[in-house]
Chain A
């Protein structure tokens, strides 16, 4: 019995350490604000925007998002170089330590597609943001009209 305790104790300690390390996640240090979705008519893809602030000492990497209200969500970036508007999928968006990253119209955004049910202006839509270490952050995005230009205008 004694023998078994002494053998399992280091394992237990290692497990606890791992749990603590895993606890200091990227998502834990991220604060989301100004979260909104531009709702378009019919089932057109919608752009979603949010300001992410990293209060931690380590940079965080936003990898993507998912929401029960949409069939798919992708991290995208718009550009307008040479007078041509383009949109491209991006793998990640860094949120610097003690800094912030903005998903805003004309730049980085989430493209939400195939709404499971119509999303109406005023709805709060839960979106789960996923980071490079697998940690997640839930944020309520407010559904705004097509001709809105920010989270509150």
Chain B
């Protein structure tokens, strides 16, 4: 009965499930493709989007040799997860390396676990990472080598949020506050697992 009522409301509201919800992050529902990738997780296992069905996914591109912005973003996501309390168990942070040459699963494992137990480090062949990056129009560029042979990688600063069905829902940028993230993730996670 409740389900029928809900369905009815959704239909009346004009077919969009997000109607009535005031998201604080950018609503990208129907504007971005569903989550889809084939990469290697930080245990060295091949994984795809289907492995994270049922979880709200926070997708972020970065690399471990990035000493400032990537750790800052992951540290902030850790705080967001803490503020979500038990609800955070329904979410996963997928940290995708844009520097697969240096970011092996071992390096990624130590790295993501230094931030949050619900963070997963994804790496893999460059072409697979490029495919995922392009899918979300998120470019990355390897900058010229420095004198010491090291290099930086410029990358998208956005965090892409997917629901438990793998649908793209929200986009967070550095201009969004932690409160905005907590607010929207709380809503998204409270909507429950997909029926």
Contacts and interface: CB of A to CB of B under 8 A. Distances in A.
Do A and B share a complex?
Answer: yes
Interface in A115-153: 145-149
A106 B68 contact: yes
Contacts of B76: 149
Given A41-B111, A148-B75, A84 B65 contact: no
Interface residues of B, number: 33
Contact of A80 (B67, B75, B174): B174
B24 interface: no
A76 B68 contact: yes
Interface string A39-51: 0111011110000
A147 B78 CA distance: 7
B116 A85 contact: no
A147 B67 contact: no
A146 B71 contact: yes
Interface stretch (B9-17, B48-56, B153-161, B180-188): B153-161
B152 interface: yes
Given A145-B114, A146-B115, A147-B116, A38 B67 contact: yes
Given A83-B158, A84-B155, A147-B71, 8 more contacts: A41-B114, A85-B156, A85-B157, A86-B152, A87-B154, A105-B68, A105-B69, A149-B76
17 contacts: A41-B107, A42-B110, A44-B107, A45-B150, A78-B69, A80-B69, A83-B156, A83-B157, A84-B156, A85-B155, A85-B157, A86-B143, A87-B152, A105-B75, A113-B150, A146-B115, A147-B71
Interface of B: 62, 64-72, 74-76, 78-79, 107, 110-111, 114-116, 139, 143, 148, 150, 152, 154-158, 173-174
